[in-house]
Each structure stands twice: as structure tokens, then as C-alpha cells.
Structure 1
Amino acid sequence: MLRRLFDALYAPLATLIVVPVTVLVCLIVIAGPTLPIRRELGRAGVRLMLASIGVPLRVRGREHLPQGPCIVVANHASYLDGLVLTAALPRTFSFVVQDGAANWPLIGLTLRRMGVIFVNRASALQSARLTRQLIRRLHDGEPLAIFAEGTFRAEPGLLPFKNGAFLIAARTHTPVVPAGIRGTRRLYGGDRRLPRWSAVEIVFRPPLRATGSDREAALRLRDLTRQHVLALCGEPDRHLAPSAADADL
């Protein structure tokens, strides 16, 4: 009963606080003169947003992030996942997200100014172009962060992983770092309009590598990465791995 009472009081109060803070952070990021500065402002801004509503962000295992290019693959449980992962990763990381976010008022412009890479899964042509772009970025030494489920649902559980990130990793001999995000689903997940208090934790595990550059090696890497993420996220396994024909990012 006490927890329900706390949630009932916390939700509107946290909303009244975090909305203006979020708008302020977005405007500051948009005004940043260079991409590195905008990303640093974004990282600090996310921590400010969480602190303003009393949410601690704990990050463990950052020492597992390799120097140079890599692909961080994390579970996806909430709209907040990209934000908290931004705060946890160095500013050199570029994020790959669904293109629908590019049209969100103010948020979309902020994401574009932070160098987010948008993917349109409905277009095979654009997906192919994006794949070539990501390969070039990795060859240039740029690390990436991807939510391999591609989306999230209201009910808890890790969805199947898309194949694209792992095909790219195998082809470019890029290490994949499994990451688990906890707490964001309770904080602002499902179909709720108001937040509930929850600590947020992100854990990185040592990088994994494909045993070859062919498709089978990529799919083995996908399955192994998913096992690690499943163990880290603390949610049930909602589905078996996708078929070999599913190569979407």
C-alpha cells in the first residue's frame, strides 16, 4: 500500500519536474556548436534529467568497452533506453534507432543534432544503404550502439534479435559488447503516460567476436550475444531466435 501511495504521488510530481528539464536539455543540445560538444551536453543532460526526479543511474563493466570500433547490443524495454545508454557510453558512440523517432517534436531534432543514425525497416533499399554506411563507419573506427530487438512491447521479455548488426560485425571483424538495461521498463515502460520511480542499471559484458565472416558465424554470434543480454536484463525470453532469413537491422 505504501508503494502504491508513493507511486501515486511520485508520478505527477516527477512529470512536472522532468518535462521542463527535458525541454531545456534539448534546447541546449540543439544549440551546441559541434557534434562532440552536443554529445557531451546530451550525456550530461540525461544524468541531470534522471537526477531531477531522484533516479540513480548505475553503470558497471565500462572497462569491457574496447578501444576502437565495436557494436554495443542492448535490450530494449522503454523509450528511455536510448537516453540512459547515451549517458553510459562515451560520446564517440553513434546510435542506430527507428526512423519514426526523427519526427518527434523537439526530440527528433535533438537526436539528429547528436548524430543518431535512423533506420527505415520498411525499405529494403534504405536498409541496404544503411548497411553500407555502418560498415564504412566501423572501418573508420566509429563505435555503434544498436537495440537488436528493433522495438519493444508493453509486456516484459526479450524479443528476437534482428540479424543485421551481427552480419555487419562478422563481415567487418568487429567485436560485439552485450549490454543489459534494467529499471527503465518500470520507470517509463508499457503504455503508461506517467513515470514510476525505479533505479536504472546498465551492465556491459566482455566483447564477443564471430568465429568467421560468413552468415552462419554471424548467426552464432547473434545467438550468443542474445544469451548474454537475456542474462543481464532480468526479463523472460519471449521468443526463440528469428529465422536465418530475417536480416533486418
Structure 2
Amino acid sequence: MRENNNSSKKLAHNGWKWFWLPFRLLWRAWFYTTIFIAIVLVFPFITVLSLRPEWYRYFFWFERIWAYVVTFLTGFIPVIKNRHYIDRNKQYIITANHTSMMDIMMTLIAVPNTFLFIGKKELAKYPLFGYYYRRTNILVDRQSLSSKKNVYWKAAEKIAQGYSVCIYPEGGVPDESIELAPFKMGAFKLAVETSTDILPISFPRTKRHFPYSVFKGRPGILTAIVHPPIEVSKLRYVEETDLRDKTFQIILSGLRSES
């Protein structure tokens, strides 16, 4: 009897799964449409402001507007917890888990400080979005050792100019079954070398609501949990590995707090 009940539940679940599939595919298509719509809305401003590096602070303001527009039009409500931990007058190396394209929008919404992404060069291939992404952020070819070294020095240079930088330390998008992939060392070496505080952020809902799998996801509330910064600038001596492990545990605790 129990086996029959389980089989019936499984059939019902699969039936609903196939029923919602075309709606999910349309919703995904709408997501990319919203990206285009949002860029068109701010196009005159971001085109001019992307021409000169010293205007990036103003470009960033419109970049945040773009993130809000995409998020709301896609059917998400962003909720930022503990934003008071962020000092708007300080620079940070922003670190967060990365399992969804919505992580980019949520990072822009969560952090008011002007920052640049350090991201994979493949994003530059997207029409229109890629043009601005390439001109205003730091791109890395993960297959090239020289590219990684150049990115490190470019990031240090931007920090010296007064900008924060965002690095997703998992170094790629892990499999959906992985709660949090091991962190690469780049962000933490940069923090120690430049004496820049680390700002950990957890995104516990983005993988559930908008995973990279086009057959999954749904609109809803997206949460960003801002953790107290790790004040590297006040530490006389710190091991990069200890910094990496501490950041990993902080972000993981945020993911599990809403699991």
C-alpha cells in the first residue's frame, strides 16, 4: 500500500513538473528580455559614463538601477539583512557564494559602495551587456596563468584608486548539489597584500529561486545576508589560509541559516 502511495505521489509530482515547464521557459526568456529593457532605459547615461574610467562612480549608480529593474521585473523582491555593517566610506573585497545569475544583481543591490566585479571573460560575449561589462569591470581568463596575474595587479590598482572589488571565491559556478564549493586563494591574497577588509555576503535563496538550470526556479524573495567585515586592515599578521577558512565558514553559516 505504501509503495502504491509513493508511486502516485511521484506521478503527480512529475505531472506538475511538466505542466510548469513551458511557463518556466517563458519566464527565463523574460529574464533576458528584462536585462535588455533595463540597459535600454539607462543606455544614454551608461554609454557616456563608460567612456572614461574616472566617471565609473557615476556609472555604478546607474548599474545599481539596472540591477533593481531586472530584479523586480523578473518577479523577485530583494531583502538585504544587516546592511548597517557596511561603512560607505570604506573599501572592501566583497566575497559571496555564486550559484545564480541573480547573484550579480543582488550584490549590486546589497552593497552601496562603488565596486568592480572580477569575473570570467565569457560574460563579455553577451550582446550589449558584455560591452559595458568589459569596459567597467576586470575580466579574467581562468585557463590563463598570465591573465590571473594581470587581474591581481589590476585589482590592486583599483583598490589603490579607492574602489572596492567583488570576487566570488568559489572560482566558478559549482554543481547544484554542492552547498558551497572550496574557496580559491586569490581574494584572500589580495586582501592581505593590500590590507583591505573582507565583506562576506551569503545568498541563501538564489540557487533555489534562479539556478542555472533552465528547468528550475520561481519568482519570490531573494535574501542577501551581510556579515560583519573581517578587518584585515587592523590585523598585524594574518595567514591567507586562515582568512579563507574563516570567510568560508561565515558565508556557509549564512546559507544554512535559511536552509
1:49 paired with 2:70, answer: yes
User: Deviation digits for residues 57-90 of structure 1, max 9, x if unmatched?
Assistant: 0011222123322111000111221122112222
Give the structure 1 partner of residue 53 of structure 2.
none
Give the structure 2 partner of residue 176 of structure 1.
198
User: Deviation digits for residues 128-186 of structure 1, max 9, x if unmatched?
Assistant: 12111111221222111110001113424100111011011011111101100122112
Equivalent position SS for 1:73: strand
Equivalent position SS for 2:142: coil
Task: Give the aligned length.
Answer: 232
Select the structure of larger CA radius of gyration: 2
Alpha-carbon spacing, 1:17–1:102, altered in 2? closer, same or farther (3 Å): closer
Alpha-carbon spacing, 1:136–1:63, altered in 2? closer, same or farther (3 Å): same
- Contact 2:103-2:206 within 8 A present in 1 as well: yes
Q: Indicate the larger mover: 1-10 or 88-97.
A: 1-10
- Which amino acid in structure 1 is aligned with residue 80 of structure 2? V
TM-score (normalizing by structure 2): 0.79
- Contact 2:68-2:105 within 8 A present in 1 as well: no
Aligned alpha-carbon RMSD (Å): 2.6
User: Deviation digits for residues 199-237 of structure 1, max 9, x if unmatched?
Assistant: 1110111111344557xx1111111011001111239xx
Give the structure 2 partner of residue 143 of structure 1.
164
Give the structure 1 partner of residue 39 of structure 2.
26
1:116 paired with 2:137, answer: yes
Taking the aligned partners of 1:40 and 1:127, their CA distance within structure 2 comes to 28
- Offset of residue 16 of structure 1: 5.6
- Which amino acid in structure 2 is aligned with residue 98 of structure 1? K
Taking the aligned partners of 2:188 and 2:18, their CA distance within structure 1 comes to 45
By percentage of residues, which structure has more helix? Answer: 2
- Contact 1:7-1:197 within 8 A present in 2 as well: no
- Offset of residue 17 of structure 1: 4.2
- Which amino acid in structure 1 is aligned with residue 75 of structure 2? G
Q: Percent identity?
A: 23
Equivalent position SS for 1:229: helix
Taking the aligned partners of 1:209 and 1:6, their CA distance within structure 2 comes to 50
Segments of structure 2 that go 5 or more residues without pairing to the other structure are 1-11, 50-55
TM-score (normalizing by structure 1): 0.82
Give the structure 2 partner of residue 64 of structure 1.
85
